[in-house]
Amino acid sequence: MPHTPDLLIRAGRVHGREDLVDISVHGGKVTAIEPSGARPAPALDTLDAGGGLVSRAFVEPHYHPDKAYSRGLAPIGIQDPFARARAIKAGFTVADVTERAARALRLASGNGVTTLRANVDVDSVAELRGLHGVLAAREQVAHLMDVEVVAFPQEGLARDPQARSLLVEALKSGADLIGGWPNVEEGTQAQQAHVREVFDLAEQFDVDVDIHVDCMIDANEAMLEFVAAETVRRGYQGRVLASHCCGLELYDDADAARVVAAVAEARISVVVVPLNLVDGGPRGLSRPQELMQAGVVVAAGSDNMNDGWYALGTLDPLDRAQMAFLGAGFHDEGSLDTAWKLVTGQASAALGGRDGDITVGEDADLVLFDAPDRSTVLAAMPGSRTTLKRGHVVSRRNTLEVAP
């Protein structure tokens, strides 16, 4: 006997189908996608999509929640973003980070995010306060989203010798992945040693690698190719995510093609950051089209919001999709769908999940819109969204309600 659905989403639209559909959910999973009205059996609960798009929920593959809403904590007069961010996190407390991070994660949920990867500074300045704050925030929002935590040595390893022991403690205390940023080290040898040490820790704890690489739009930043070679040497293909990768944008075409091929061979996923700014100045967008053409999984992430690095930000995946569409020069047929995939299926795949849209048998992590299709949603972002996590409504937002 088939189960009575826990939830029946009526009269929705799914990308790639012309007809209205009903989506059945049972036990937190999508159990059927059928023409609307085809299922006479009652459901325990119903949700009327009203002809709006029902999409797989959004995935945020690269964000720093320990720093959320911290811009106002910066001492007055510090212009350098490195120094400003360092001064802010020196004042972190576990309680402060927990409150700000949970607030940011709830905002992301309201925007339709149900999976998020959090990079958290672990170094001699923040020590483990940011980590413990984000871990506490993760518990508070566990019903809203799944959060993976990256232990990230923002200040370097050679430059910050205390960081290694703190990273070890972080990985013992609940961090899920090891991060890195080789470009902050002085000189090529120190940068390569940073990469090797990150992989040493990854092997020691059998965790994946999520590494910041070549974060500035500077052709002299050239660690991505070394990360790809080290990935292959360690047998870590498919277990590495590289974010930013902006130097690649300025390489000549022959050098870029060689690096892209190395990234593809290593099966490294790449997260570009369309809102990739420091105090308003652009930091590049890598080469997402060439990477995807080579078979690399590419996603788009937020990076920062209202902190020492970036004053603005919304944690809205549609902002990222729009900016990627514009900044990466997507103009071919289907490019709107590509922009959408950067924050849904491809973002999931970048974190080791499944690509694609809604599928029977998968978790019912969904977003309902009042617009009928992806292009309308992207072109006219104001409207309503309803976020479901494993079949339960967890967030609603409506930007069309205007007071009289």
pLDDT of residue 361: 96
Quick one: how many helices (H) and strands (E) in the chain? Answer: 12, 18
In angstroms, the CA 180 to CA 170 distance is 14
In 3-state terms the chain splits into helix, strand, coil percentages (rounded to 5) of 35, 25, 40
Start-to-end Cα distance in the chain: 51
Written out in words, the top-level CATH class of the domain with range 7-51+358-398 is mainly beta
Match 């413990």 to its residue by tokens. Answer: 132
Please tell us whether the domain made up of 58-350 is placed in CATH 2.60.120.310: no
Q: How far is CA 229 from CA 153, 260, 266, in A?
A: 21, 12, 7
In angstroms, the CA 29 to CA 67 distance is 34
In angstroms, the CA 100 to CA 286 distance is 30
In angstroms, the CA 309 to CA 216 distance is 13
- β-partners of residue 74 are none
Q: Name, in order, each residue with C-beta under 8 angstroms of 131's C-beta and a sequence gap of 6 or more.
A: 66, 120, 122, 149, 151, 170, 173, 174, 175
Structure tokens at 3: 């189960």
pLDDT tens string, the chain, 404 residues long: the values are: 467 889 999 999 999 999 999 999 999 999 999 999 887 667 789 999 999 999 999 999 999 999 999 998 888 888 888 898 999 999 999 999 999 999 999 999 999 999 999 999 999 999 999 999 999 999 999 999 999 999 999 999 999 999 999 999 999 999 999 999 999 999 999 999 999 999 999 999 999 999 999 998 889 999 999 999 999 999 999 999 999 999 999 999 999 999 999 999 999 999 999 887 766 566 678 999 999 999 999 999 999 999 988 888 899 999 999 988 888 877 766 788 999 999 999 999 999 999 999 999 999 999 999 999 999 998 876 789 999 999 999 999 987 765 45
H-run or E-run covering 164:
helix 163-173
pLDDT of residue 5: 85
Q: Name, in order, each residue with C-beta under 8 angstroms of 291's C-beta and a sequence gap of 6 or more.
A: 260, 263, 264, 270, 298
Output b/e per residue, 48-80; b: 16+ Cβ within 10 A: ebeebbbbbbbbbbbbbbbbbbbbebbeeeeee
Helices (H), 48-157: 81-90, 94-110, 129-140
Burial of 367 (0-12, 13-18, 19+ CB in 10 A): buried
Structure tokens at 18: 């012309």
**Beta-carbon neighbour count of residue 91 at 10 Å?**
14
Distance of CA 181 to the CA centre of its chain: 17
pLDDT of residue 41: 64
Closest CA to 310 of 272, 283, 287, 339: 283
- Virtual torsion, Cα 284, 286, 287, 288, nearest 10 deg: -110
Per-domain residue ranges of the chain:
7-51+358-398, 58-350
pLDDT of residue 329: 76
Give, in degrees to the nearest 5, the angle at Cα 107 between 104 and 110: 155
Match 């100045």 to its residue by tokens. Answer: 281
Match 């325990």 to its residue by tokens. Answer: 44
Q: Name, in order, each residue with C-beta under 8 angstroms of 163's C-beta and a sequence gap of 6 or more.
A: 122, 123, 124, 153, 155, 156, 157
pLDDT of residue 281: 62
Distance of CA 96 to the CA centre of its chain: 23
